[in-house]
Amino acid sequence: MHLFGKWSFDGVVISDQGLQRYICLRPTPVPHSSGRHEHRRFGKAEVNVVERLANNLMKPGRNGGKKTKAIASVKNAFQIIHLRTSENPIQVLIRAIENSAPREDVTKLTYGGITYFKAVDISPQRRLDLSLRWITEAARVNSFRSAKTLDEALADEIIAAANNDLKSYAIKKKMDQERVALASR
């Protein structure tokens, strides 16, 4: 079974051990589960990662919360990624997620009325959520009031994050978050 009838899930490797359990690569022709995961605890870990990317694109704005438009944008972005890199776009997306997923964050602690920040490790589920959010946020920002379409902006961001390029918004956000956490150890 191939995603959009073109790309196979076979041979896609997740090298980050922490994210392996939460990145779902269950083969599906169209990434649309109709929300069957909503009412189960940690149900989103069983949703295909491509569908989660499309779900993150469904924010108010250009797509207006329409899933079919979000899936079409992801499909076109994957076609652009395949043309530019001649790799499986699913593997490129996985590499982008692994590179842009932060490992540390800060939390507020209050003792006796004094608040200070402490560095903490992030759960794998949150790492994946933040990575997908930053990738789609970058695509939305780069396509807004620009000649670049959402599909092109999404493809550019995924390729940049997969290459660990500092021009990537998601990589910048990860670096900033980890730098703040390092300072508050």
Q: pLDDT by residue (tens digit) across 48-107?
A: 999 999 999 988 766 667 888 999 999 999 999 999 999 999 999 999 999 999 999 999
pTM score: 0.91
Flag the least confident range among 6-10, 60-64, 145-149, 162-166.
60-64
Strand partners, 109: 116
d(CA 134, CA 147): 21
CATH H superfamily, domain 2-102+123-176 = Ribosomal protein S7/S5 (1.10.455.10)
The domains of the chain are located at 2-102+123-176
In sequence order, what are the residues at sequence separation of 6 or more whose Cβ sits closer than 8 angstroms to the Cβ of residue 113? none
